[in-house]
Amino acid sequence: MFHSMTVNAKDGKSNELSVFFISDIHRRKIDEKLLRKLRKTGQFDLVIIGGDLVERGVPLSRVEQNVKLLSQLGPLFFVWGNNDREVGEPLLRDILGRHGCTILENCAVPVPGHSDWMICGTDDPSSRKVDIDSTLRYIDRDKYSILVTHTPSVFRKVEQQYKPCLMLAGHTHGGQIRLGRLALQEKGKFWLEGERAKLISNGYGTSTLPFRLGADPECHIIKIMYGDLQ
């Protein structure tokens, strides 16, 4: 899915930040047809895995291949989901590290090549390690920012202290199986609040049951037009 937003870009003087967001891959292999489409857009400024890259029982060779392919699209970032540690945290850290992936666990870092931007991410509530204060401590409030967390309920807690330009999450699978409007979770969506935006993704893979109904799998290209802050 493609989304666009404009942040404080006036008089036609703007820059573009391109983001690829994918969450809840679970057991699925990254599709080569999808990769061909993505490569046509050129390199992304940020490639973000929004948690649940993997779950128990997934071969580590498949995980490594998925990470390798995603890392070829642009600078790679990751936040923990509720299932990721099931394969062994040290093993997953090793795979991510071999492919230059930055793990955002209650921290903030600059966006490569875009000095006006920062990206921050939280651990997942299932770990009982979420630390909002630490996540926001090093955010430069004079810069634009992106917040990534696996579980959307963290949005509300972050917004009690700070309101990022863009907030990203997954986890819900859009209900995964929907009978009309009936489902265990709301369908994923992208929405604007003034110059801010939020995205909750249906996710790319499946969990528990290997199929979907009424909540199509998705990943996201987000284009942000913004003005210089200097």
pLDDT in tens, 156-208: 999 999 999 999 999 999 999 888 888 889 999 999 999 899 999 999 999 98
Strands of the sheet containing 220-226, edge to edge, are 2-7, 220-226, 15-22, 46-49, 76-78, 102-103
Q: What are phi and psi of 26, to 5 degrees?
A: 55, -115
Residue 2: pLDDT over 80: yes
Residue 10: pLDDT band by 50, 70, 90 thresholds?
low
Q: Look at the chain and report how many structural domains it folds into.
A: 1
At 124, the pLDDT band (50, 70, 90 cuts) reads very high
Summarised one tens digit per residue, pLDDT across range 57-72 is 999 999 999 999 999 9
What residue numbers bound the domain in which 77 lies?
A: 2-226
Q: For residue range 26-36, what is the model confidence (pLDDT) as tens digits?
A: 999 999 999 99
Distance CA 173, CA 113 (A): 32
Residue 209 has a pLDDT of 84
Q: Which residue has the higher pLDDT, 78 or 229?
A: 78
pLDDT of 180 reads: 84
For residue 128, the domain's CATH number is 3.60.21.10
Is 90 exceeded by the pLDDT of residue 120?
yes
Are 158 and 164 contacting, i.e. CB atoms less than 8 angstroms apart? Answer: yes
Task: Identify the residue whose tokens are 């199986």.
Answer: 177
- At 211, the pLDDT band (50, 70, 90 cuts) reads confident
pLDDT tens per residue, range 128-144: 999 999 999 999 988 99
